[in-house]
Amino acid sequence: MRRMKLWLQVAGDRRSRTGPLSWPDMPRPPATDPEYAAQVVAGRDRLHKLYTAWERILGFFARRSRTCAHHDGNRPGQGGPLLATTAVASVLLTLSACTVGPDFLRPKPPDIPAWHDTSLRPNSAVSLQTNPDPRWWDQFKDPVLTSLVEQAISGNLDLQQAVLRVVQAQQGEVTARSGGLPSVGASGSFTREQLGLRGLLLSQGAYGQLNALADQNSPLNRISPGLGTRTADSLRGALNDFSQPVNLYQYGLNASWELDLFGRVRRAKEQAGAQTEAQIEATNDALVMLEGQVAQAYVTVRGAQALTRSQQQNVRIAREALNLTTLRQRQGLGTDLDVEQARTQVANNEALLPGYEKQAEQAMNRLSVLVGRPPGALEPMLAPVARLPVIPGLIDVGVPSTLARRRPDIRQAEAVLHAATANVGVATASFYPDVSLTGSVGLRATDAAFLTNWASAFYAFGPSVSLPVFQGGRLTANLRLARAQEAQAALAYRSTVLNALREVEDALVAYRTDRAAREKLAVAVRSGERSVYLARDAYEHGLQDFLTVLDAQRTLTASRQQLVQADQLLINDVVTLYTALGGGWQDNAATTGPVEQAPPPVPAALDALGAKVPR
């Protein structure tokens, strides 16, 4: 138990707990925990004191009612039921403010002043002064990318499913809220019933007694001849009338209201609200992931096109070399081996082009599905060759302490912890009495013509109390389960926070190192181009053989491809960093500096339902 308490403290979730059972004192069998019996006795003492207080208050109002009736000249006890009802209502309203179970306290974000990577190795490409722009894709200055992200937000089918799950959770919240409101229903019925009175009368010998009464020697016939016979016949006719089937018409209203004295319904409403928040944050997290996937797929398309363009330039250089070696061979200055080696180089370079085409086509198909359209639908938009998006000169990353409020997965874990805490309150309230008010009113008659006559009216109302006495350990097990789930949710929250910090640190490291590698590759490409020029010039003047030219061309080809791939990787690093920072779902993200932004498009699923974008 002490370990679980420490776990909750580590998760930053120190709570003030109320109710008959607190976290360190989970109910356990007396054989394993001597304090269990003392807890049970303490709980019974609290209930006994509560009932004693009720009796004293009701007794006071009863005495007051008798005194008031005496002074008013009424009969003793007149007006007592009204005052007693008022007393009960006052007590119930006072107790309705009681909500057992722990109250949820929002965990504090980790107190980390700066990112580890930037504190050890200052990076001029990132800024800690401002939180990231929620519309981070606008930083790439690519209108096609912006259009694709907006299309994906509006049309992605997975995102629409997530939005509908939010709507379902909201309806569950409405259902939980209705548990604290009165329920009213109407009913009407018609029944034709044979009560079986004749059989009951026969079994009790009633008809035999009537026959004895009609006997001429009966006391009534002795008093007046024929009196007993007439009386017996009258009674027999009345009994026969009562033995006939009865028609019963009835309609009316019935109502019930759970008073929720100890907060079971309020905790259930709190739990349902937290579950709705968790689903909203899950949808926001899916939105963040979707925006990252769209950006990375678009970068793949442009990267494949850039690789194709670079490889076509390599093919052109290889063909020029082939033409040169063929010309020198015809002039008797070269060999057939030089020609075949040049032709092989051309074929090897051309063999890479179909692979890049495959990458571009597959990425286009993936983008089409991400925006909710069939494969190939975006080819007219993406087929024209364009450059890779421009990497922002400065990336705003903010400080670690703001990450917990910006990452949807952390907010989701917090909402799950809130729901688990409220569920402990629901389980705790199940140990307390359940008080409800029920009532019914209507009209009942054996003849339909009297259903509009107030003389046929009936009513019934009053409170009902349900107190769990023996449940076979079910309530205790439910409370233990709820507390274990709360501890698990606290650990899951801490794990989510740590993983979020790790993802940002990994993204910062990847961006810094890949940026340094890209700068070195740019130097290598410039050096390779100079090497090819010098090798060809030496070959043309007969100072070097063609093998030197081939080696220089292979090195340049590899360097150019690696440079394009490094550009693509660096852009993906930026996308990964923005995704890890949790941007892209909020339309009013808190920033230390002004950031102009437009609200995200409304998903099509919400358009169909006529709902608002969940925040």
Of residues 151 and 42, the one with the higher pLDDT is: 151
Q: Say yes or no to pLDDT of 184 above 90.
A: yes
Q: What percent of the chain clears pLDDT 90, i.e. is strictly above it?
A: 36
Q: What region, left, alpha or beta, does residue 70 occupy, with left being phi > 0 and alpha being psi -120 to 50 degrees? A: alpha
Of residues 194 and 375, the one with the higher pLDDT is: 375
Q: Could you tell me the pTM of the whole model?
A: 0.72
Domain coordinates of the chain in residue numbers? 19-98, 116-178+262-384+406-411+489-609, 195-244
- Cα 579 from Cα 288, distance rounded (Å): 6
Q: Smallest Cα–Cα separation from 370: which of 609, 150, 162, 163?
A: 150
DSSP string spanning 260-285?
-TTSHHHHHHHHHHHHHHHHHHHHHH
- Looking at residue 572, its pLDDT comes to 93
Per-residue confidence band for 47, with pLDDT thresholds at 50, 70 and 90 = very low
- Looking at residue 88, its pLDDT comes to 52
- Cα 266 from Cα 259, distance rounded (Å): 11
Per-residue confidence band for 440, with pLDDT thresholds at 50, 70 and 90 = very high
* Cβ–Cβ under 8 Å, residues 182 and 188: no
Q: Hey, is 56 helix, strand or coil?
A: helix
Per-residue confidence band for 602, with pLDDT thresholds at 50, 70 and 90 = very low
Write the DSSP symbol of residue 216. T
Per-residue confidence band for 589, with pLDDT thresholds at 50, 70 and 90 = very low
- Per the listing, tokens 């006719």 go with 237
* Cβ–Cβ under 8 Å, residues 496 and 541: no
The predicted-structure confidence for 210-249, as pLDDT tens digits, reads as follows 777 777 677 766 677 777 677 777 777 777 766 778 889 9
Residue 51, burial from CB neighbour count under 10 angstroms (0-12, 13-18, 19+): exposed
Q: Say yes or no to pLDDT of 84 above 70.
A: no
Take residue 278 and report the two structure tokens written for it.
């968790």
Take residue 344 and report the two structure tokens written for it.
């092989």
Nearest-Å Rg of the Cα atoms of the chain is 43
Take residue 343 and report the two structure tokens written for it.
């032709």
- Cα 295 from Cα 149, distance rounded (Å): 7
- Per the listing, tokens 């085409």 go with 357
> Which range among 208-217, 333-342, 450-459, 599-608 shows the weakest confidence by mean pLDDT?
599-608
- β-bridge partners, 439: 255, 461
- Cα 582 from Cα 571, distance rounded (Å): 17
Other CB atoms within a 10 A radius of the CB of residue 558 amount to: 14
Residue 81, burial from CB neighbour count under 10 angstroms (0-12, 13-18, 19+): exposed
- Cα 125 from Cα 569, distance rounded (Å): 16
Give the pairing of strands 434-445 and 246-258: antiparallel
Q: What percent of the chain clears pLDDT 70, i.e. is strictly above it?
A: 76
At a CB cut-off of 8 Å and minimum separation 6, what does 350 contact?
315
DSSP string spanning 283-309?
HHHHHHHHHHHHHHHHHHHHHHHHHHH
Per-residue confidence band for 162, with pLDDT thresholds at 50, 70 and 90 = very high
The predicted-structure confidence for 344-384, as pLDDT tens digits, reads as follows 888 988 898 898 899 899 999 999 999 999 998 999 999 89
At a CB cut-off of 8 Å and minimum separation 6, what does 337 contact?
none
- Cα 219 from Cα 232, distance rounded (Å): 12
Angle formed by the axes of helices 264-330 and 546-580, nearest 10°:
170
- Looking at residue 591, its pLDDT comes to 32
Length of the chain: 615
Angle formed by the axes of helices 336-351 and 546-580, nearest 10°:
10
- Looking at residue 229, its pLDDT comes to 75
Our measurement of the distance from residue 299's CA atom to the centroid of its chain's CA atoms, rounded to an integer in Å, reads: 31
Of residues 384 and 74, the one with the higher pLDDT is: 384
CATH architecture label of 116-178+262-384+406-411+489-609: Up-down Bundle (1.20)
- Looking at residue 76, its pLDDT comes to 40
- Cα 599 from Cα 614, distance rounded (Å): 12
- Cα 18 from Cα 428, distance rounded (Å): 10
Average pLDDT rounded to a whole number, residues 564-588: 85
Per-residue confidence band for 79, with pLDDT thresholds at 50, 70 and 90 = very low
Q: Say yes or no to pLDDT of 97 above 60.
A: no
Q: Say yes or no to pLDDT of 527 above 80.
A: yes
- Please state, rounded to an integer, the average pLDDT across all residues of the chain: 78
- Looking at residue 49, its pLDDT comes to 52
Q: Say yes or no to pLDDT of 1 above 50.
A: no
- Looking at residue 234, its pLDDT comes to 77
Q: Smallest Cα–Cα separation from 2: which of 21, 19, 25, 18?
A: 25
- Looking at residue 338, its pLDDT comes to 79
Report the number of secondary-structure helices (H) and strands (E) in the chain: 19, 6
- Per DSSP (E only), the strands in 147-292 are 183-193, 246-258
- Cα 58 from Cα 75, distance rounded (Å): 20
The predicted-structure confidence for 405-416, as pLDDT tens digits, reads as follows 889 999 999 999
* Cβ–Cβ under 8 Å, residues 315 and 349: yes
* Cβ–Cβ under 8 Å, residues 302 and 386: yes
Of residues 435 and 208, the one with the higher pLDDT is: 435
Q: Hey, is 252 helix, strand or coil?
A: strand
- Looking at residue 615, its pLDDT comes to 38
Q: Which H helix or E strand runs over 444?
A: strand 434-445
Angle formed by the axes of helices 264-330 and 408-429, nearest 10°:
160
> Which range among 127-131, 153-157, 265-269, 577-581 shows the weakest confidence by mean pLDDT?
127-131
Q: Say yes or no to pLDDT of 458 above 80.
A: yes
Take residue 380 and report the two structure tokens written for it.
């007219």
* Cβ–Cβ under 8 Å, residues 573 and 567: no
- Cα 181 from Cα 177, distance rounded (Å): 7
* Cβ–Cβ under 8 Å, residues 369 and 76: no
- Looking at residue 420, its pLDDT comes to 95
CA dist 289 to 157, 366, 585, Å? 14, 14, 10
- Looking at residue 90, its pLDDT comes to 52
* Cβ–Cβ under 8 Å, residues 21 and 46: no
- Cα 398 from Cα 511, distance rounded (Å): 16
> Which range among 64-68, 105-109, 183-187, 530-534 shows the weakest confidence by mean pLDDT?
64-68
Write the DSSP symbol of residue 256. E
The predicted-structure confidence for 267-309, as pLDDT tens digits, reads as follows 999 999 999 999 999 999 999 999 999 999 999 999 999 888 8
Average pLDDT rounded to a whole number, residues 162-166: 92
Among 83-87, 123-127, 489-493, 599-603, the range with the most confident prediction by mean pLDDT is: 489-493
Our measurement of the distance from residue 179's CA atom to the centroid of its chain's CA atoms, rounded to an integer in Å, reads: 21
* Cβ–Cβ under 8 Å, residues 270 and 425: yes
Average pLDDT rounded to a whole number, residues 323-329: 81
* Cβ–Cβ under 8 Å, residues 320 and 346: no
Q: Smallest Cα–Cα separation from 359: which of 564, 155, 139?
A: 564
Q: Say yes or no to pLDDT of 314 above 90.
A: no
Other CB atoms within a 10 A radius of the CB of residue 232 amount to: 21
- Cα 597 from Cα 590, distance rounded (Å): 12
The predicted-structure confidence for 551-574, as pLDDT tens digits, reads as follows 787 888 888 888 989 999 999 999
